[in-house]
Amino acid sequence: MPGQLFIVATPIGNLGDISERAKSTLASVDAVLCEDTRVTAKLMSVLGIKKTLISYHQHSSLKKTDEILQRLNNGDKLALVTDAGTPGISDPGGRLIEAVNAKLHDRIEMIPIPGPNAAIATLSISGFPTDKFTFLGFPPHKKKRTEFFTIVKNSVWTAVFYESTHRIIKTLEQLSEAIGDRPIVVGRELTKLHETIYRGTAAEVTKQLESTSIKGEFVIVIAPK
């Protein structure tokens, strides 16, 4: 039997969003590769599934990647999950998926188990055109930041990107300078207790956030030019 790697999407907050197929897949594999074993251990405990958890994150060594490739080559069935959402979308899952694709694509099966994704969830309630959109991951921290906001400014499609609590205000301020009064939607803590959707210009949303809370995880959606 060829090895199988299941790319399993997990909730972005609300555990009720786990799919039946994600559960049965996690229950059926030989081991689960995860970004943070503590986060995945909690999920597995809620699901009542006991499996070997193998940590795989952005600092994992090449040796670790090779060991995983070897297991797949030997016919193992593995699942890849990350801390939240769809593995590979702006998270460390992408590295392993790339390595498997480059070295083993003709020898093993890679199977997506679709589910939650923070960008898609926010786009779905944005009210902006979503027949085409540009996904930009996280803004760069230093170099290329100006270029990033120029791309957003010039986007003829709805643009969407991620931001953390540490940089949200700085990012919204820079976004405001770039796009002025163009409308945006910000999703904070989606599917969680403090889920909040902010709408307005970047300057208005900054004020709303400062007067409520800047804690949590954010997705920013910008109307097209």
Nearer to ligand SAM, 76 or 151 (CB): 151
Choice from 10, 25, 60, 117 touching ligand SAM (CB under 6 A) = 117
Report if residue 189 touches ligand SAM, rule: CB under 6 A: yes
Report 14-43 residues binding ligand SAM (CB under 6 A).
none
> Which pair of tokens denotes residue 37?
């074993």
| Distance of closest approach, residue 4 Cβ to ligand SAM, in angstroms | 21
Distance CA 185, CA 200 (A): 7
| Distance of closest approach, residue 111 Cβ to ligand SAM, in angstroms | 17
Q: For residue 217, what are the β-bridge partners?
A: 164
Report 76-95 residues binding ligand SAM (CB under 6 A).
82, 84-86, 89-91
- The residue whose Cβ lies closest to ligand SAM is 85
Task: Characterize the bridge pairing of strands 133-135 and 158-164.
Answer: parallel
Report if residue 185 touches ligand SAM, rule: CB under 6 A: no
Report if residue 44 touches ligand SAM, rule: CB under 6 A: no
Report if residue 219 touches ligand SAM, rule: CB under 6 A: yes
Q: Pseudo-torsion of CA 42, 45, 46, 51, nearest 10°? A: 110
Report if residue 191 touches ligand SAM, rule: CB under 6 A: yes
Choice from 32, 190, 202, 205 touching ligand SAM (CB under 6 A) = 190
| Distance of closest approach, residue 146 Cβ to ligand SAM, in angstroms | 21
Residue where the block lists tokens 């230093």: 142
